[in-house]
Structure 1
């Protein structure tokens, strides 16, 4: 902590005998010039490698010197000249001498009531000077009674007074404050203060994210940030009646090693915060995406084969945050443990367990920590006993486990008893809490060393909210929620399938390890499958379970990919996928793993639409597996039966000739893709349309959070592009589309749509406007380009800077017999689907199926295409031309609106 500047350290020339109004302009100009030079010097020291502590000290000393010089000038010439009428204190962060470049400067003018008039003049002079210098200054003007009253009412005010530091003014008032205010604020109602700070910490963590591992962490208020350190120190200072870390050390409250660790924690966070403030040009504690990359470069990180520089930096940040969180939790518990000690005979009886373990006050404890060194397998037994008894691990036991992690070696990992205990934990209810403890204590990293490769592993995108390890643990929790019935009403099929799983422990192991390959770089599914072979051997899994575990890790992305980006009405696709699954038990596990994986990514990733697609793929594949003989389907017989049912249902209303003509015009692809009742509904819309331009039916599906549109019209060039443009202009998201053009020119387009927030649009007026626009465009009365242009001119605001990746186009000519499948990965924007479909139309390409998948700000759109002759596009030059045209359109500034 820097020393308060010397009182004789005069920075500015001043004539104290002149009136204040005459002196002030010169003082302000001198102060501005000096402050600019000092800031420039300190930033240069920071850029040249100055530590966080050095820069914080220099900034604090700079403000101290400024404050003393301006206070001296302001106090001169006050009415009734005499001793200073107040003591000026730094409080809060400034009081701790912990100023970062854009930190608030909090001051308190402490005075006696009789000097109020003088203090008002003095404070006004000083504060207006500081504000005119552009400093963020908070202030209070208080007597001793004011301070005590505020501290009694507000725990934040009481906390701020714990961080007071005398700057200048009356030494006598400083001593009075210390004697009459500070000691009372610190020493009275200790238990109430501790309880309040614990509650405050819980509220803060909930507000800023209940995990260290957030995408854009807050380095001050978030878990593992500066406030965790401050809170722990406040508790210790109040509990042990100390005023500084140094005093805590001298009293033996903190050890030398603990004070060094705290200093290192602060230094690391201050260096990052200093750079964050310099980059932002303002007070900012949020590590936003764009700042993460710049800070990584500043700290010397460089891209390598394993990970980009920014991911390496964020991984180290999370590692540091976990250490801060662990250390401060220990300090919190040290204070709370003393307050929880029993005061009466027979209070909370001790319950003895095996191997010296016992339960006391809902905590698992161990009589002799050294027994862990004598019998290392008890490290795993501790977690099992905690799970069996439904109690938490005591802080002392957690510390003992951490201190004995070095005993976990390959012999331990292959120990049959150890592995039996581990699988018993996985089989039991609520095992995710135990896995969280294992992860927190870094036991999991030692027991499954491959897991350490994803520990705090960052994926620098807007899609993955958590680090890879935390995402995997959250995915385990999602499976447990199914077993606990939390999704019984909203997801009955998933709940039923989860309860039908034979080997729950194997499913959970697959979920825990599904992303294990991400520590190895690209192609993580394949690399993860190789890793789990070794893990399965160590854990003693039999051949069948090992193979299934490997299969699940290798294929854990397949169901999401196929359901969201492939044509689920293609029977060949379903048959191919069913052959891959081989067994219904494997399909069930993969279904559940896919659900958990999607749910655990982040709050904006799972949607009812994705859930519906996933369920459709599961049900169709399950039916194919149960049928067994994949080639037994007599498709021609199915088509005949379907036509017969449709004819029988419609002939009375619309006549034999009209219905037969319509059925003859339908292709087998359409007839095989939809059940009889769906085809009947489509034909009713077409027949009711008659000679009108447009037939439209809207069905809202609240449980799925989207609406189904049936659009009937006659084929025209670029029809789907026009539909997509109208939807974009009306701010309606198309989730998926199937496009059918019959031989007689009749078109049936089936669209699934929702709002941009993923909700149903149920406003009749809005749908009336959509129908009006669609009819006007189809009749040529309005150009779709003008509708989309107006929509873009209304603005499309991206809330935050996000990492941008280049547009990527991939072609697949194997997955479908009749279509070329195009996957487009790009950034979301107004009218994106319109831009894509318009480009296809300009290139004379016909769209059969469209699947739209949005991941926060990125999309993965899939289109099934044919050329003008109804054939696949296979020529390399033509595919290159399509790719080039799409990239030019999607990456152009003009397309963004």
Structure 2
């Protein structure tokens, strides 16, 4: 990290006396020329502002602190605004003998009033009048506002009397908060003092509890808007949980409860340790530095730390690569550790409020209690008691006497559905260091921990509290290593630890029946799982191998064995947990990247899984893992693929072992399912019987009875009306539109259909290809729009136009392309994606599997399909998957003779062609990255 510099004295940046002298000289030089005066004054002020910002930027990049930079920028703005006020009231609208109505005080309010500004922050000004507005005051305000706008400021402003300020602040907490931080910049000093004194006496006095309640409610609502987790991987530095606004909330409450005292004085109260005071200052300084870098980098008031900006901010803040740990991930882990500290500081502050009897009776840590005293209610566990619905401890000696009580604290709170008293949480945070190796190997501690994890009422909430107190990471060091760790990709929405705890919560919700509609299979099989402790432990430890030697799966299995051995588990359970951790990605890989209707796919998967118990464990583990990745990642399409794989594998275990036994069992399963479906279809729609008899058996396990009926009608329509027919509908549960096309099979059919979807701005997220024995193809696509929503969900006519285009494409007719906006390469361009192509002749009995992986972009599927077709290959089935910025598409292909690709030279030629298709068009890639860099290095001299 760069060394810290000495703070810069403001007069070395913007000399206010000299600035005013320059303005006066300009006014005299252009005397009588109002336009010339204004133009000259604006140039002088703009130059001063530019110089101040450039000095602040240079010092920040050379190691100056975030708070220092924010104060320097605020000071520069003070001088410019005050000089403009003097110029306006002395040279433009001078009142030589001001009347009472011409008195005016200019005050900074809101964040600007606090004396800290980011480079492109709004500035909030209050023009304070003694009573009704006069023509003179109106002219001054209007002139100043237009000048400030011309200087590039975004100004929030109000013109009010003292009486209006008092009245409005009583009614509106936002106005009350802004006036709480008001400070005079220039103008009538007596008027400004009157506002401050009356505000303290008539608004603040006696209203502490309601103000605290309003601020904490406002904080909760803000968190919900910005993302309830403080571990969102693209955090909002200002508004997000654990961000600057949370620290500002503490400022506001402290100021309100201790009027006239600076925050430094409040922080010296005995409730805060020196470590906590230092943590507060470090967090505030770090977050301000990040925010200032964001503004300077983008040239705008950007508050969100997006993927495309993270590497640049990491570089500017002095982070470098360290071994296998990239600079951007080191920087972001630092960010999330500070966000965690902010959460802990909030609770310490809550404890201080509790001690002063400001808070009122709660159901949660962010609710207030009133001033009545709460009686202590002893519990049947020594050292613990209940106070006003909260669990507390008799003192830190409870933990010193028996460190296992650090775990019991959270178990008791969970069992009895009690909130943690802030004092207890603070004591646990400070005592977390008592958890050492002997405690980690204590069998009593292990039992308490496993009761929380596997049998707790709300394990996600409890484990989250343990993580924020530092207890969980101390007790399970393997988990501690992934706390605040991020993965620099667009697939995961949360840090590794947050994702893990959410996944544990998903399992608990499945067990409680809360996901019966979304996950009927997982809900039905979870009660059949014999070892739920192993399931929860595997979920908690499944990502502990990220960044480890030998790859995530192997490293994770090693970490799981270490943790389970320390907990004293028997060998069979240790090996089961380690196996689940090592294979936690297997089921999703087979379901989404392989053809489940191929007997070899299921046989290979069954050979890995080996037992029905492991199959059940993997199903639940995989559902929870995918669902906890982030909003919108799980969808009905993935659920359907996993159910197909589960049922097919279950049939294998019922019918025999080994590859050949598995294949035979699967064939029997498919034949029985297909027979039942054909019989049912013939009864409901006799006209579809011939079509159903010609369809392959695997088709009937992929779709519901209603869908099969619909496809049968579509096939007859295609045969009767020009050889092709298509239909589509929005499937909200799959977060996609499902489009089915029936047509006579021919070479390049799949290519033409994929190209048509791309041409109309669609993005294929799943595709299934079936061909009947009579040569009729049925291709089913799941399609999203550019925003990742179901195609046509907001414009049904767009889906109708796509269906018409697909029918034309299926008949071999050229299709018109709709004008659409190019994809946003900005965020994706932040990632280095190395294209890969693999061939597997063993994954299928009849086809070669070509797996292509590269940067996702609109039209990639069509480009890959065209490349394979141009190579003389026929696509039997396609399996499309995406992981944020990376696409992974698997194609089952055969050559012109219907055989696998056995010739190595042919495979090498195909590989080269597919790699070329994966490579982004140079102009688009360069354009996207160039635009990103230009945005990242935008000039601040606007």
TM-score, normalisation: structure 1: 0.90
Q: Counterpart in 1 of 2:782? A: 753
CA shift, 1:611, in A, is 0.5
Say which of 723, 744, 751 aligns to 1:694.
723
Contact 1:559 1:614 in 2 (8 A): yes
> Cα gap change, 1:470/1:654 in structure 2, threshold over 3 Å: closer, same or farther?
closer
CA–CA separation in structure 2 for the residues paired with 1:477 and 1:596: 8
Q: 1:339 aligns with which of 353, 358, 365?
A: 358
| 1:382 corresponds to which of 383, 386, 409 | 409
Distance 2:790 2:242 in 1: 36
1:724 aligns with 2:754: yes
Aligned to 2:841: 813
Q: Distance in 2 between matches of 1:565 and 1:753?
A: 15
Greater Cα shift, 115-124 or 809-818: 115-124
Which residue of the partner structure matches residue 297 of structure 2? 279
2:670 & 2:407 partners in 1: Cα distance?
A: 60
Q: Match of 2:75?
A: 61
Distance in 2 between residues matched to 1:496 and 1:555, nearest whole Å = 22
CA 171–887 in structure 1, closer or farther in 2 if over 3 Å, else same: same
Counterpart check, 1:28 vs 2:42? yes
Please give the alpha-carbon distance, in whole angstroms, between the structure 2 residues aligned to 1:97 and 1:692.
Answer: 74
Q: Decide which of 45, 53, 56 is 2:59's aligned counterpart.
A: 45
Decide which of 475, 478, 481 is 1:450's aligned counterpart. 478
Q: Kindly tell me: are residues 540 and 163 of structure 1, through their superposed partners in 2, closer, same or farther at Cα, counting changes over 3 Å?
A: same
User: SS at 2:411's partner residue?
Assistant: helix
Provide the C-alpha distance between the structure 1 equivalents of 2:842 and 2:542, rounded to a whole number of angstroms. Answer: 27
Q: Counterparts of 1:641 and 1:352 in 2: how far apart (Å)?
A: 60
1:419 aligned onto 2:446: yes
Counterpart position of 2:425:
398
| 1:476-498 CA distance string (max 9 Å, x none) | 11111112221123322221112
Superposition deviation, residue 737 in structure 1: 4.0
Distance 1:249 1:184, change over 3 A: farther
Q: In the alignment, is the contact (CA less than 8 A) between 1:866 and 1:872 conserved in 2?
A: yes
Cα pair 1:607 1:758 within 8 Å, conserved: no
Aligned to 1:591: 619
Give the Cα separation in 2 of the matches to 1:285 and 1:461.
Answer: 20
Q: Is the 8 A contact 1:90 1:167 kept in 2?
A: yes
Structure 2: 5+ residue runs without aligned partners? Answer: 1-6, 361-368, 926-942
Q: Is the 8 A contact 1:822 1:864 kept in 2?
A: yes
Does residue 433 of structure 1 match 2:447?
no
Report what 2:24 is aligned to. Answer: 14
Deviation at 1:159, TM superposition (A): 0.6
Contact 1:639–1:668 (CA under 8 A) maintained in structure 2: yes
Deviations 1:789-814 (A, max 9, x none): x23x4223438623332333222222
1:122 corresponds in structure 2 to 140
Match of 1:534 in 2: 562
Aligned pairs for 1:840-879 (under 5 A) are 840-879=868-907
The aligned counterpart of 1:488 is: 516
State the partner residue of 1:269.
287
1:91 and 1:107 in contact (8 A); partners too: yes
Give the Cα–Cα distance (whole angstroms) in 2 for the partners of residues 498 and 171 of structure 1: 71
**Partner SS state of residue 309, structure 2:** helix
| Structure 1 range deviating more: 206-215 or 644-653 | 644-653
The alignment partner of 2:888 has SS state of strand
Tell me the C-alpha RMSD between the 2 structures. 3.7
Unaligned regions of 5+ residues in structure 1, if any? none
* Native 8 Å contact 2:743 2:811 kept in 1: no
Give per-residue Cα distances to partners, 1:324-371, cap 9 Å, x unaligned.
Answer: 221123213422452248999995551322222112222111113213
Moved more, 494-503 or 561-570: 494-503
Change (3 A) 1:482 1:32: same
- Shift of the alpha carbon at 1:220? 1.1
How many Å separate the matches in 2 of 1:654 and 1:222? 56
Tell whether 2:259 aligns with 1:218. Answer: no
2: distance between equivalents of 1:55 and 1:439? 33
- Structure 1 residues 842 and 252: CA distance shift in structure 2, 3 A: same
The structure-2 alpha-carbon separation of the partners of 1:736 and 1:76, relative to structure 1 and needing over 3 Å to count, comes to closer
- Secondary structure in 2 matching 1:404: helix
Aligned partner of 2:263 in structure 1 is 245
Given candidates 159, 170, 175, the residue that maps to 1:152 is 170
User: SS state of the match for residue 823, structure 1?
Assistant: strand
1:79-113: per-residue Cα shift (whole Å, max 9, x none)? 54146822221222221110121122222222212
- CA distance in 2 between counterparts of 1:273 and 1:540 reads 47
**1:511 shift after superposition:** 0.9
Q: Distance in 2 between matches of 1:457 and 1:480?
A: 24
1:783 aligns with 2:814: yes
User: What is the CA distance between 1:444 and its match in structure 2?
Assistant: 1.0
The offset of 1:708, in angstroms, is 6.5
Question: How many angstroms apart in 2 are the aligned matches of 1:675 and 1:567?
Answer: 18
CA distance in 2, matches of 1:511, 1:441: 21
The C-alpha deviation readout for 1:272-322, integer Å capped at 9, x for no partner, is 111111111111111111111101111122223332211111011000111
Q: What are the within-5 Å matches in structure 2 for residues 554-633 of structure 1?
A: 554-629=582-657, 631-632=660-661, 633=664
Aligned to 1:367: 394
